[in-house]
Amino acid sequence: MRVLAHVYTYRVELGRRSYPILIGAGLIARPDLFDQHLFGRDVLLVSNTTVAPLYAAAVVGALGSRRVVEAILPDGEHHKTLANVSRLIDVLVANRFGRDCTVLALGGGVVGDMAGFAAATYQRGIAYVQIPTTLLAQVDSAVGGKTGVNHPGGKNLIGAFHQPNAVLADVRTLATLPQRELRAGIAEVLKYGLICDAPFFDWLEAHIDGLLARDLEALTHVIRRSCEIKAQIVGRDEYEHGERAVLNLGHTFAHAIEAATGYDRWLHGEAVAAGLFMAATLSYECGLMPATDVERIKRLLVQAGLPIDAHQVSVAAALEHMKMDKKVQGGRIRLVVPRSIGECFISVDYPDAALQRTLAACFG
Ligand code: NAD
Ligand code: GLY
């Protein structure tokens, strides 16, 4: 099939820090791609106990005669900690890695965020390449240079912006992804339609069954469009001084759900799904989004098998965690509000009563 043989390339345009996002089938086993995008002879391959047995051998096989050291982390969001990043730094030091090396992040967003943060901080910054293996990481977390870890007090509270040298998104790795993880990735895909691309949202409504059945052409299409949108937004606002914050649609609610439930019951993408519906509800409560749009969002989330509320988290707990969000400004929670499907804005002056009604409807 034509689509499977092709490597689609997008660029994140950031001057000297520009880099390509390559999307295609079989990329992790291509020595030519590693030759083009790796820096130096020393490679730290960071993965976890689930992904390494599946794909590390293929990657190592494509690395040729380079010196490869593997660092295999425990699996799970609750392992996304400063202690584990510190272990990665220990491995770099123990193996006397200099600044002329490359960290490879092979895995989902948890591995990518930690490996990226280790690369951001070791010797004040070394090269790294993202090899995302979840849908969520291929459409979102591997692109854009946000790296970091959680703190018990809040999600992603410790981190740095550090752009990768390249992103290699191999769609074939998605074949082994558990269905629940695939659904979680679809939440971040829906986000792009909601924030800025109504035709893409229409397309998702028409193709949701194909996506859930892992049709490779459908998956490739959503990874391409998602990366294209993210690359453009990051290219315009790398450090989130303005526009980039729209990529956090639903995330203030989502991070509160994740933090309130100890990072181990909800997948990030599931929390984002509920957060998207909460943001739509808030917009409706503010008198903005028509009920028909809210209903379409709900229908698509439910069709994708994703949650739309979090009644096991109390309103008080949700609010407490929302106040720890990085977007809080002058004590006021800044929220991304969708005006309609395909259009959103950042607001601090939504009516408090509208937020209270939203929280009361969606939390316990
Ligand atoms: P994850 O990294 O925990 O991966 C999900 C699960 O799938 C894990 O158990 C993992 O081991 C397994 N897995 C990964 N690839 C697999 C494969 N091909 N086959 C079988 N199993 C596989 O979760 P995620 O959803 O990829 O990422 C979520 C994380 O990403 C969160 O910590 C979130 O905060 C972060 N994130 C970061 C950004 C960013 O811009 N940096 C953006 C969005 C999300
Ligand atoms: N996932 C949000 C961002 O990268 O900005």
3-state helix, strand, coil in the chain (%, to 5): 55, 20, 25
Which tokens go with 110? 């948890």
Q: How far is CA 54 from CA 32, 46, 181, 351, in A?
A: 21, 13, 16, 49
Q: Do domains 8-176 and 184-362 have the same CATH topology?
A: no
Q: Is residue 240 flagged as an active site residue?
A: yes
Q: Is residue 339 flagged as an active site residue?
A: no
Q: What is the pLDDT along the chain (364 residues), one digit of tens a residue?
A: 344 469 999 999 999 999 999 999 999 999 999 999 999 999 999 999 999 999 999 999 999 999 999 999 999 999 999 999 999 999 999 999 999 999 999 999 999 999 999 999 999 999 999 999 999 999 999 999 999 999 887 889 999 999 999 999 999 999 999 999 999 999 999 999 999 999 999 999 999 999 999 999 999 999 999 999 999 999 999 999 999 999 999 999 999 999 899 888 999 999 999 999 999 999 999 999 999 999 999 999 999 999 999 999 999 999 999 988 777 877 889 999 999 999 999 999 999 999 999 999 999 9
List alpha helices for 154-215, DSSP H.
179-196, 198-212
Cα(148) to centroid(ligand 1), Å: 13
DSSP secondary structure letter of residue 137: I
Cα(27) to centroid(ligand 1), Å: 19
* Domain residue limits, the chain: 8-176, 184-362
pLDDT of residue 5: 65
Q: In the CATH scheme, what is the code of domain 8-176?
A: 3.40.50.1970
Q: Is residue 95 flagged as an active site residue?
A: no
What ligand is nearest to the CA atom of residue 142? Answer: 1
Could you say which of 2, 16, 96, 124 is catalytic?
124
Task: Tell me yes or no: is domain 184-362 CATH 1.20.210.10.
Answer: no
* Pocket lining: 81 vs ligand 1, CB cutoff 6 Å: no
Backbone angles phi, psi at 157, to 5 degrees: -75, -20
- The amino acid sitting at 100 is D
Residue in 196, 243, 248, 252 to alter for ligand 2 test, most ligand atoms within 8 A of Cβ: 248
Which tokens go with 344? 């959103």
Q: How far apart are alpha carbons 201 and 199 in whole angstroms?
A: 5
